[in-house]
Each structure stands twice: as C-alpha cells, then as structure tokens.
Structure 1
Amino acid sequence: MADNFHSIVFEITTGSDEAAVDITERCAAFLVGAAAGRSGLLNVFVPHATAGVAVIETGAGSDRDLLATLRELLPADDRWRHRHGSPGHGRDHVLPGLVAPHATLPVINGQLALGIWQSVVLVDTNGDNPRRSVRLSFLG
C-alpha cells in the first residue's frame, strides 16, 4: 500500500489581503514523483478553518470574480458572532462552508485530468494568517 500513497505538505504565503492563489503547477510537480505515470486520485487539503480549495478558471478574471462574490456574500463587518481577530474575521470562518477546504481530482497516467480552463486555487480571505499549509496526497 505504501507505494500507492504519497503525501507532502508545502507552505505558501498568501499575504495580508484576500487571495486566490493558483497552485496547479505545485500539484503537477508533486505528481511527477508521486504518481510516476500511474492513475489515481489527488487530494488537495488545507488544514485551516479559514481557507478553501476551488477548481476554477484563472487568468480571465474568474479568480477576482470569486473573491468579489465572497465579499458580497460574506461582508467583513460586525454581524458575525465569531469576533476575534480583525473586524469581520468571523466571515473567514464561514468561508470553508462555501469553498470547501479540500478537492479530490482525477489523475490519469501521472497527470491531473483537469478541463482545459480549470486550475486548482487556494482561496484565502483571512489577512490575519498570511502563511498557509497545503497537503497534497496521491492515492494510486
């Protein structure tokens, strides 16, 4: 079983502003060694209560549109019961209910089987925590 399962954690800095960071290349680079031409599943997981993983188009503005939509749905104001941190920080704790902290993706012959415009994106609206961990796990 050990040859069929590989997992790593990498750190990423998202900064003090909300961000949608494309991590597709990091996922593909991990699969070069972990999948070695095999097929299976890649799980992308962020072990944080205030971040998520989305599979969206990037580069054409969809990533900025996603952040704008989250600002509308989850305004950074004083409506939230969860009140520690920056004003409106409670919204960051609701984010994973809308943008899950994980995604499981097909891997075919060692390559992510994404659609032509799809990218794997770390979504982070929490400026209080600019450093994030991402766990990549391949099951072949």
Structure 2
Amino acid sequence: MESLELNVHTGAVERVVDLTSRCEQFLADVGAGDGLLHVFVPHATAGVAVIETGAGSDDDLLAALRDVLPPSGPAGRGWRHRHGSPGHGRDHVLPGLVPPYATLPVLGGRLVLGTWQSVVLVDTNVDNPDRRVRLSFLAG
C-alpha cells in the first residue's frame, strides 16, 4: 500500500476544498494501476464528499449543512458539545452526515469519477484552519 499525508489550509471560514487534482497527482507519483484510493480525514470535525464543484454545489452543500446543523443547535437549544467558538458542537456532528472518508475506484492509474464529480474536503470548523488528509492507494 502506498500512502501520503496532505496538509490542507482551510482558513477561518467554512470551506469545501477540491482535492481531486492532489489525488490524481498522488496516483501518478506512486505509479498506480488498478486498485482503490482511500481518502481519510483524521479529524473529528471534517468530512470527505464526492460532489460537483464550481457550479455552486459546494456553496449549496455548506448552506444545507447550516440548515441541518444550525449553529444555534437543534431547535435552537444549543449544542451539548460547547467548547470552541459558538456553534462548534455542530462541527462534531458533521462527520455523522459527511463521513471522514471516501474509497474510490482507480483503473489504469486514474480515478473513476463521473463527469462532474470531484473529491472534496468539507470543513465547517472555523477553529481549526489546518487539516491533514491521508491518501492511501491499495493496488488490486
């Protein structure tokens, strides 16, 4: 198995960061053939998704997450997990909806994605501006 840890600066705002080109570069660097690429975020407050980017879907995802996980907590009652900035408890619930991993097929050294699909890091935690992402290629 080949593995690499990426450092991703997300800053102090909610962000969806496209990792697709970094995933493709990793596969090229390790001389990948057929197999699986596993993308993992070792953080309790971030996730990995496969979505369309650049046409507004990334912003729509963040807006939907704000609706489903409002900073004020469920029904405005606040979050039980309360350390960090106001509303930070929602960040700890995020991985229940956007998992911290994705496993993707690789054929001939290339990610098998749909026409508009991208691999993204979803980070709503404004308290942690730097993230690690583990890429692991398992040959088939």
Verify same fold: TM over 0.5.
yes
- Within 5 Å, which residues of 2 pair with 1:125-140? 125-140=124-139
RMSD (Å), alpha carbons = 0.8
Matched, 1:10 2:9: no
Q: Using the TM superposition, name which of 129-138 and 70-79 deviates more.
A: 70-79
* Partner SS, residue 43 of structure 2: coil
* Partner SS, residue 121 of structure 1: strand
Gaps of at least 5 residues in structure 1 are: none
Match in the other structure for 2:112: 113
Q: Which amino acid aligns with 1:119?
A: S
Question: How far apart, in 1, do the equivalents of 2:112 and 2:62 lie?
Answer: 25
Task: Pick from 24, 37, 44 the counterpart of residue 42 of structure 1.
Answer: 37
Gaps of at least 5 residues in structure 2 are: none
Query: Structure 1 residues 37 and 138, CA, compared in 2 at 3 Å: closer, same or farther?
Result: closer
Percent identity reads 68
- Give the TM-score, by structure 2 length: 0.95
Say whether the 8 Å CA contact 2:48–2:121 is kept in structure 1: yes
Task: Pick from 49, 52, 67 the counterpart of residue 54 of structure 1.
Answer: 49
User: Following TM superposition, where does structure 1 have runs of at least 4 consecutive aligned residues deviating by more than 3 angstroms?
Assistant: none
Match in the other structure for 2:58: 63
- Give the TM-score, by structure 1 length: 0.95
Say whether the 8 Å CA contact 2:32–2:137 is kept in structure 1: no
Residues 66-89 of structure 1, C-alpha deviation per residue, up to 9 Å, x if partnerless? 000000001112510000000010
Task: Pick from 5, 18, 22 the counterpart of residue 26 of structure 1.
Answer: 22
Question: How far apart, in 2, do the equivalents of 1:66 and 1:131 lie?
Answer: 20
Match in the other structure for 1:77: 72
- Within 5 Å, which residues of 2 pair with 1:85-100? 85-100=84-99
Tell me the number of residue pairs that the alignment of Structure 1 and Structure 2 aligns: 135
